[in-house]
Amino acid sequence: MITLFHHPRTRSSRFIFLLEELGVPYAIHRIAHIRRPDGSGGVDPENPHPHGKSPALKDGDTLVFESTAIALYLTDRFPQNGIGPVVGDAKRGAYVSWLAYYAGVMEPAWMSAYMKWDIPRGTAGWVKTDEVMAFVNATLEQGPYLLGENFSAIDILVATTFKMFMGSPLLEKTPLLDGYVGRVLARPAYARSQAKEND
Ligand SMILES: N[C@@H](CCC(=O)N[C@@H](CS)C(=O)NCC(=O)O)C(=O)O
């Protein structure tokens, strides 16, 4: 049995969306509280994440943490709905690259922009958001989704993140991005996930 450790309106919400896409049975274990930037909250001792963060996932006794690892684990474990290219698929390389890029480049890029950290080009392991967006835009111009014709779990991570920031000083709203986010969030699995958000 899959159990998603979830706290409403955090990064774990994306995995309700993914699990709905996969159409497999799962349970949601609500994380009672997480640490908040203002110093409130705290680590829930029942949350198996090593740092008390949201999300975490258990598959029987197997613990999976880190959003991109959870995405890859789930789409490999449940390949039937084709939500992530598996080993042997021509898109597998692009899929794992985008997952790693999301965690290792995109999130640090936006976090450093938000914190106003100046990242000198050429020294950090990531690039600034303008370079990220040039790559994202060029990719989305080729196909409706990041991997081309087919929707995958990387679109869940990226489109839900863009939804949060689009229109703020951190991310300009453009017809291309707006169309992409709208396409991903129009999926019935997203609506079903929203209904379970507060479970
Ligand atoms: N790198 C982690 C980040 C998870 C994360 O930071 N989640 C936030 C909520 S969106 C959290 O649990 N914060 C509480 C804390 O850092 O203790 C992932 O992608 O899964």
- For the Cβ of 35 lying below 6 angstroms from any atom of ligand 1, the answer is yes
Nearest atom in ligand 1 to the alpha carbon of residue 53 is 12
Q: What CATH topology corresponds to 92-188?
A: Glutathione S-transferase Yfyf (Class Pi); Chain A, domain 2 (1.20.1050)
- For the Cβ of 85 lying below 6 angstroms from any atom of ligand 1, the answer is no
For the cut 90, the answer to whether the pLDDT of residue 120 exceeds it is no
Interval 130-162: pLDDT, tens: 999 999 999 999 999 999 999 999 999 999 999
Give the residue range(s) of CATH 1.20.1050.10 domains in the chain: 92-188
Give the residue range(s) of CATH 3.40.30.10 domains in the chain: 2-83
Q: Which residues touch 192 (CB under 8 Å, ≥6 apart)?
A: 20
For the cut 90, the answer to whether the pLDDT of residue 199 exceeds it is no
Pocket test for ligand 1, best of 18, 33, 53 (most atoms within 8 A of CB): 53
pLDDT at position 122 is 85
For the cut 90, the answer to whether the pLDDT of residue 123 exceeds it is no
pLDDT at position 108 is 97
Averaged pLDDT for residues 75-94: 98
Residue 186: how many other CB atoms lie within 10 Å: 9
* Sign of the dihedral defined by the CA atoms of residues 11, 155, 97, 112, in that order: negative
pTM for this entry: 0.97
Question: How many Å apart are CA 17 and CA 193, to the nearest integer?
Answer: 5
For the cut 90, the answer to whether the pLDDT of residue 89 exceeds it is yes
Rg of the chain taking only CA atoms, in angstroms? 17
pLDDT at position 92 is 98
Q: What CATH topology corresponds to 2-83?
A: Glutaredoxin (3.40.30)
